[in-house]
Amino acid sequence: MIKKLLGNILLLLLISNHQVVWGQFVPKNITEEQRIKANHWVEKTYQNMSQDERLGQLFIIALYTNKGDAFIQNVRNIVEKEQIGGLILMQDDASKEISLVNELHAKSKIPLLIGMDAEWGLYQRIPIAHKFPWAITLGAIQNKQTIYENAKKIAQDAKRIGVNWNFAPVVDVNTNPKNPIIGNRSFGSTVENVTQSAYAYTMGLQDQNILAAIKHFPGHGDTSTDSHLTLPVVHHSLDRLQAVELAPFQNLIDKGIGGVMVAHVYVPTLEKGKNIPASLSYSVVTELLKKQMRYQGLIITDALNMNAVADTYPPGVVDALAFKAGNDIMLFSQDVAKGKAEIQKAIDRGEIPAQRVEESVKKILKTKYFLGLSQHPETINPQNIHWDLKTEKHKQIIQNAYSEAVTLLKDDKNLLPLKKEDTYYYLPLEEAPLGLYPELLQLGITLKTIEPKDIPLLPQSAKVIIGIHKDNSTAYKPYTISKQNKTLIQKIAEKHLLLLHIFGSPYALADVEIKNISTVVVAYENNDDAVIASVQGLLGKKSINGRLPVTVNHTLPAGSGITKNKTK
């Protein structure tokens, strides 16, 4: 059945009678001489390594700065003894991370790949950094160059602290509104938008020589459980998988994408073994991704400490199973020494071909060469890092993105742009109200903040703005509006001109009747940058051009939105 899948696209894999392989990262404008040098360095380096050192390259472990000195010392010991391939930087001190990266590079015979989950910038792990928009926000933007510019700035921040691999972007097509782990991290619910947005994001990284990793293969978008907690199951036919879940990967792997991250999800159509995660499935990783889709870039597991695999497979054993499946790198390994031993035992038993180590290690080495890691990198200065990750330039790029994302779904009574001669009543609802509309006051709009108890006292002709302010502290927070507030919204809409402003996921509108609501605006997130961008659109100082990246319900499909040109 796997051979049937993607059969149509295999015709594209033969050009001039030569097999085409996709995915190995190569920097822009590389010369043939540089390719030859890369191959020479890889071969020489590989031959000078012991088998134990070669096995070490297959592992990336986590580095936290908030788990104490004993934890950090253990990382030092593993780096030095096991000669691992890289680190994933976790929470939370940028200066300390820089100092440790400098130190740990020096302990490594071959420089380390330094990775980070930085989908919405370094802020995802380092709270002093400036937060970039979530993918769902970027997915609303019609000018994909704006996404490119956001990713380019994220790449520059990554370089500043020594990161050379951003484990992003997510290319899961979020077709399940109740998805607890993807949701805001997805560019949307249509293959075309996800592909275009992800490509812009990926090129923004890789044009700056920061490796990308599209994830979570073969697709995590239609899941209702969190793989950090348990093993999700994706129940779809081959035709559906090819049309939706696999499609963004199919569309992107021929674009030089440096990495593909494999998910801990069980897809019965692709893997007949009971409850075998894709990350540990030979059918998914080798037969499908490597052989059928011809992907030859780096293949990395999702974190191996996640309960979807950690609850079933012991540390070390899970690493060997992941390598046997076809992965090149085991991310967040919990026991490198045991993992190396288990892989070697499997090779000795004939369960893993001996050449697999050579295949994977040479891919890793070539990637390191092209990332500038053929020699130890220059020492990074941690001084002023807190300022460097939160500059005026960050603010300009990020606020522009939020501005281009703002989406107008309705404006039946032409409430927009807001007028200085009118009076507006502002009612903030939900759990995280921001000082949104002082921005409007400063710009000359007459605005009176009210509470629910004030509603009966409003004049019949009142123009009311309701701000739905959802908790923005993580991408995983619930997005639903409380039953009490939904009732309140309907009561106000029946008697007054209402502008409903969603500062959160558009899925919040899934069970909200908007027929009687004059104006509906979605800003996607609840933070100061989204607020400022929204105000500019409400006042007509900037055009509103965003489109829904997801299907909310049958009346609000993906692509919904009205353009409102700027008037000032």
Neighbours of 30 (CB within 10 A): 11
Residues 45 and 373: beta-carbon distance below 8 Å:
no
Confidence category of residue 28, pLDDT binned at 50, 70, 90? confident
| pLDDT for residue 440 is more than 90 | no
Cα separation, 94 vs 389, whole angstroms: 10
Full 3-state SS string of 101-143 = HHHHHHCCCCCCEEEECCCCCHHHCCCCCCCCCCHHHHHCCCC
Which pLDDT score is estimated for 354?
94
Average pLDDT value for residue range 20-32: 79
pLDDT digits (tens, 9 = 90+) for 269-279: 999 999 999 99
The two three-digit tokens of residue 107, written as one number: 């302990």
CA proximity to 561, closest of 549, 547, 543, 550? 547
CA proximity to 489, closest of 504, 503, 478, 499? 499
Q: Average model confidence (pLDDT) for the chain?
A: 93
Amino acid at position 242, single letter: Q
Which pLDDT score is estimated for 443?
80
Torsion of CA 370, 374, 379, 381, to 10 degrees: 10
**Comparing 136 with 15, which gets the higher pLDDT?**
136
**Comparing 425 with 9, which gets the higher pLDDT?**
425
SS3 at position 37: helix
pLDDT digits (tens, 9 = 90+) for 118-129: 999 999 999 999
**Continuous segment of H or E residues that includes residue 330:** strand 330-331
Residues 520 and 403: beta-carbon distance below 8 Å:
no
Which pLDDT score is estimated for 16?
28
Topology classification of domain 406-539? Rossmann fold (3.40.50)
Topology classification of domain 32-389? TIM Barrel (3.20.20)
Phi-psi group of 75: left, alpha or beta (phi > 0 → left; psi -120 to 50 → alpha; rest → beta): alpha
- Specify the pairing of strand 86-89 against strand 59-63: parallel
Cα separation, 409 vs 498, whole angstroms: 13
Which pLDDT score is estimated for 21?
55
The two three-digit tokens of residue 175, written as one number: 């077709």
- Specify the pairing of strand 519-522 against strand 407-411: antiparallel
- Whole-prediction pTM: 0.95
CA proximity to 521, closest of 399, 553, 530? 530
Confidence category of residue 436, pLDDT binned at 50, 70, 90? low
Amino acid at position 64, single letter: Y
Average pLDDT value for residue range 369-379: 95
| pLDDT for residue 362 is more than 90 | yes
Every domain of the chain and the residues it spans: 32-389, 406-539
| pLDDT for residue 447 is more than 70 | yes
How many helices, marked H, and strands, marked E, lie in the chain?
Answer: 19, 16
Which pLDDT score is estimated for 146?
98
Average pLDDT value for residue range 483-503: 97
Cα separation, 321 vs 401, whole angstroms: 42
- Specify the pairing of strand 298-301 against strand 330-331: unpaired
Confidence category of residue 155, pLDDT binned at 50, 70, 90? very high
Q: 307: number of CA atoms within 13 Å, CB side?
A: 8
How many residues in total does the chain contain? 568
| pLDDT for residue 421 is more than 60 | yes
Which pLDDT score is estimated for 9?
37
Which residues are within 8 A (CB) of 107 and not within 5 positions of it... i.e. 6 or more apart?
Answer: 76, 79, 80
